């Protein structure tokens, strides 16, 4: 236990924690994006996806627990590393000229804040439905179609998707470098795997709100879930059901 505490309080420990939790985040993002793209297969595919998640609740809650812990550790480590960096140089450079940098690297902190705010909103919007205008349980097709019909909401989703893409571009490379799987690069724009991953994820998430705004998802009758008690009552009312 003491070793873990000592590791956490070290700079390299925090960077390793950020790298590992970042990789967990990447895996979740890819899975979530794949599920979202079922929108183009229609309401039936999205409903089956929702049912699959529901019938895998123990696994789903375990994944959510790991993801929540990863987000918290990632955010705390990032904040503490920033504070350590500022404490090491309380007086800023008179003139700072980064030799090797990208827009993604320069906006990583702001992008992280945008992503955190978006995660909270997204949970309230499409998981709990508390800020959704017409939320229906187990009907993710209509929830996405209706929820993203508002241009302001869709715009926020697009902003978040861009932030995730930039975060992945810089973060994915930093993670593998921290874990020793890649050498420091003097040509950041040639990090092809990180760039490809960032583009795929950003476009994969952006295409849903854009399609919703353009009316690409046909209206569909809401899927109303019938509770087990209601099903039992309905069956008992049918002659010869007993």
pLDDT digits (tens, 9 = 90+) for 16-36: 999 999 999 999 999 999 999
Q: Residue ranges of the chain with pLDDT lower than 70? A: 1, 88-101, 181-190, 226-242
Q: Are 222 and 142 within 8 A, CB to CB?
A: yes
Neighbours of 127 (CB within 10 A): 13
Pure H helices in the chain: 2-9, 11-36, 43-54, 57-88, 103-106, 108-122, 140-147, 151-178, 192-213, 228-236
CB 100 within 8 A of CB 186: yes
- Predicted pLDDT of residue 108: 86
25: its two tokens: 């985040």
So what's the pLDDT on residue 65?
95
pLDDT value of position 236: 55
């Amino acid at each position: 236990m003491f070793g873990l505490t000592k590791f956490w309080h070290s700079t390299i420990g925090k960077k390793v924690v950020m790298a590992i939790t970042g990789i967990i985040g990447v895996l979740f993002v890819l899975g979530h994006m794949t599920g979202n793209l079922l929108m183009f297969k229609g309401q039936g595919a999205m409903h089956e996806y929702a049912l699959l998640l529901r019938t895998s609740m123990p696994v789903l809650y375990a994944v959510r627990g790991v993801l929540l812990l990863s987000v918290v550790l990632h955010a705390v480590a990032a904040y503490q590393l920033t504070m350590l960096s500022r404490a090491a140089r309380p007086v800023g450079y008179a003139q700072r000229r980064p030799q090797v940098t990208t827009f993604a690297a320069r906006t990583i902190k702001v992008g992280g804040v945008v992503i955190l705010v978006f995660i909270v909103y997204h949970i309230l919007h499409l998981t709990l439905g508390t800020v959704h205008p017409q939320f229906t349980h187990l009907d993710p097709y209509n929830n996405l179609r209706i929820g993203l019909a508002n241009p302001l909401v869709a715009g926020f989703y697009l902003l978040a998707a861009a932030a995730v893409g930039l975060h992945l571009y810089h973060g994915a490379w930093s993670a593998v470098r921290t874990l020793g799987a890649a050498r420091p690069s003097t040509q950041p724009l040639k990090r092809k795997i990180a760039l490809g991953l960032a583009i795929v994820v950003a476009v994969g998430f952006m295409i849903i709100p854009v399609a919703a705004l353009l009316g690409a998802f046909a209206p569909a009758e809401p899927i109303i879930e019938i509770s087990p008690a209601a099903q039992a009552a309905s069956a008992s009312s049918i002659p010869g059901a007993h």
